[in-house]
């Protein structure tokens, strides 16, 4: 999958090319092999904003690169910053699609949350990303561009430390582009982030989990469970009707056996829906004995949707049942809530505002 061309710019996206494809291009244009390392260095380490910035390349190569490729294909539509240091970008893609990506600061950690698709087809009823279905997959270059845009928000001495594929979209429905982008993210010539610090979050698609298990790089896998039974999960995560909780857990176990990586299960707490003591007890029975971490996420309310976050005492009760049941559980803090940081929320809001302001320039 390649980045769509914008109407008036037919040049391909340089980030869509793998290092070996770029190497072929260089040799076809008469440049020695070591130029590849220099270009990758400028893209991933030295944070060039343009080909002109790549000052140790010969001027002729810089101008040939400029003629042949685009370095950026997306425009920044909105840039928000919350008091806790979280920053969020809403990007306008070449074909007019929009995706979001987020930089989170936590102590020394500099984590980024990246989108894999424009919209989402999974239909989780509480999530803003999938309200209008899926538009298309992002290309490798568009996934990498989000990472590089966020990296360039950091001061020079700071590096990205973690990546989570938890933005818009279902990464396992666009696995080729996601893996191609993550290979560069983990490579020392790319962003140099250990695969242990790269998380792929999925609604749970067993065939794709099995494919991922066979992939040479064992990334960290997070499964968005959100319900302990099929009856409840079929309602909250409609794609579950075709799969079922047990098939997902079996695939997760195979992933664990193949990679030795501890699994993460995600559980968004929705007031009065999946937060009962009975749900907690069912979760204990479901997860007991697995080498896993249960991440309980407070719901980030989405405008127009009826779901709410439970109050503290209910969360406390839920937690105690899990802890007493011997489940490894962590209750995540909400970050960036002042800036609509839950996936798909900013795009949603912009769409609502843009409809009201015909210029589309509402920031």
Q: Is 342 in the site for ligand SAH (CB under 6 A)?
A: yes
Residue of 101, 113, 120, 343 with catalytic role: 343
Give the chain as a 3 state SS string. CCCCCECCECCCEHHHCCHHHHHHHHHHCCCCCHHHHHHHHHHHHCCCCCHHHCCCCCHHHHHHHHHHCECCCCEEEEEEECCCCCEEEEEECCCCCEEEEEEEEECCEEEEECCCEEECCCCCCCCCCCCCCEEEECCHHHHHHHHHHHHCCCCCCCCCCEEEECCCCCHHHHHHHHHHHHHHHHCCCCCCCCHHHEEEEECCCHHHHHHHHHCCCCCEEEEECCCCCHHHHHHHCHHHHHCCHHHHHHHHHHHHHHHCCCEEEEEEECCCCCCCHHHHHHHHHHHCCCCEEEEEEECCCCCCCCCCCCCHHHHHHHHHHHHHCCCCEEECCCCCHHHCCCCCHHHHHHHHHHHHCCCCCCC
Site for ligand SAH in 217-256 (CB under 6 A): 224
Q: Which residues pair with 6 in a beta bridge?
A: 9
Q: Is 131 in the site for ligand SAH (CB under 6 A)?
A: no
Residue of 64, 87, 100, 266 with catalytic role: 100
Q: Contact with ligand SAH (CB under 6 A): which of 48, 209, 283, 297?
A: 297
Strand, helix or coil for residue 264: strand
314, 274 in Cβ contact below 8 A?
no
Q: Is 264 in the site for ligand SAH (CB under 6 A)?
A: no
Rounded CA-CA distance 48/152 in Å is 9
The answer to whether 170 is a known catalytic residue is no
Minimum distance, C-beta of residue 237 to ligand SAH, in the bound complex (Å): 8
Q: Is 302 in the site for ligand SAH (CB under 6 A)?
A: yes
Q: Is 343 in the site for ligand SAH (CB under 6 A)?
A: yes
Rounded CA-CA distance 227/351 in Å is 30
Q: Is 273 in the site for ligand SAH (CB under 6 A)?
A: no
Q: Contact with ligand SAH (CB under 6 A): which of 3, 174, 201, 240?
A: 201
Q: Contact with ligand SAH (CB under 6 A): which of 57, 124, 147, 193?
A: 124
Query: Which element (helix H / strand E) includes 103?
Result: strand 98-106
Minimum distance, C-beta of residue 18 to ligand SAH, in the bound complex (Å): 24
Size of the site for ligand SAH (CB under 6 A): 18
Nearer to ligand SAH, 39 or 268 (CB): 268
Would you give the binding string for ligand SAH spanning residues 94-123, x where CB under 6 A is met?
----------------------------x-
Q: Is 265 in the site for ligand SAH (CB under 6 A)?
A: no
Q: Contact with ligand SAH (CB under 6 A): which of 89, 127, 209, 294?
A: 127
Give the binding range for ligand SAH (CB under 6 A) out of 16-24, 134-142, 292-300, 350-358: 292-300
Q: Is 182 in the site for ligand SAH (CB under 6 A)?
A: no
Query: Which element (helix H / strand E) includes 224?
Result: strand 220-224
Nearer to ligand SAH, 94 or 122 (CB): 122
Would you give the binding string for ligand SAH spanning residues 137-176, x where CB under 6 A is met?
-----------------------------x---x------
The answer to whether 124 is a known catalytic residue is no
Nearer to ligand SAH, 150 or 203 (CB): 203
Q: Is 268 in the site for ligand SAH (CB under 6 A)?
A: yes
Q: Which residues are catalytic?
A: 100, 343
Using CB under 6 A as the criterion, which residues of the chain lie in contact with ligand SAH when the complex forms?
122, 124, 126-127, 166, 170, 201-203, 224, 266, 268, 297, 299-300, 302, 342-343
């Amino acid at each position: 999958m390649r980045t769509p061309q914008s109407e008036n710019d037919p040049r391909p996206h340089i980030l869509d090319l793998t290092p070996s494809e770029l190497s072929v291009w260089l040799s076809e244009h008469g440049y020695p092999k070591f130029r590849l390392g220099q270009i990758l260095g400028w893209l991933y380490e030295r944070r060039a904003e343009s080909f002109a910035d790549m000052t140790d390349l010969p001027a002729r190569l810089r101008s040939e690169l400029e003629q042949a490729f685009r370095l950026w294909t997306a425009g920044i539509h909105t840039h928000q910053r919350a008091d806790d240091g979280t920053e969020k970008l809403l990007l306008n893609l070449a074909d007019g699609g929009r995706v979001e990506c987020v930089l989170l600061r936590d102590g020394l950690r500099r984590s980024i949350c990246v989108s894999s698709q424009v919209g989402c087809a999974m239909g989780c009823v509480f999530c803003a990303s999938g309200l209008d279905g899926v538009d298309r997959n992002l290309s490798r270059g568009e996934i990498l561009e989000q990472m590089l845009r966020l990296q360039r928000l950091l001061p020079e001495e700071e590096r990205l430390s973690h990546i989570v594929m938890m933005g818009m979209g279902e990464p396992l429905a666009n696995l080729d582009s996601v893996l191609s982008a993550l290979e560069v993210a983990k490579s020392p010539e790319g962003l140099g982030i250990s695969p242990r610090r790269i998380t792929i979050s999925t609604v749970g698609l067993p065939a794709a989990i099995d494919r991922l298990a066979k992939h040479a790089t064992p990334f960290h896998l997070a499964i968005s469970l959100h319900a302990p039974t099929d009856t409840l999960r079929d309602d909250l995560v409609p794609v579950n009707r075709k799969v079922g909780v047990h098939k997902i857990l079996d695939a997760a176990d195979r992933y664990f056996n193949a990679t030795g990586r501890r699994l993460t299960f995600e559980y968004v707490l929705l007031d009065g829906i999946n937060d009962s003591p009975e749900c907690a007890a069912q979760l204990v029975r479901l997860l007991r004995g697995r080498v896993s971490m249960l991440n309980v996420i407070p719901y980030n309310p989405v405008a127009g949707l009826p779901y709410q976050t439970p109050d503290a005492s209910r969360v406390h009760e839920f937690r105690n049942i899990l802890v007493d049941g011997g489940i490894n559980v962590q209750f995540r803090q909400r970050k960036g809530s002042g800036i609509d940081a839950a996936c798909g929320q900013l795009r949603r809001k912009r769409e609502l505002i843009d409809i009201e302001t015909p210029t589309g320039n509402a920031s």
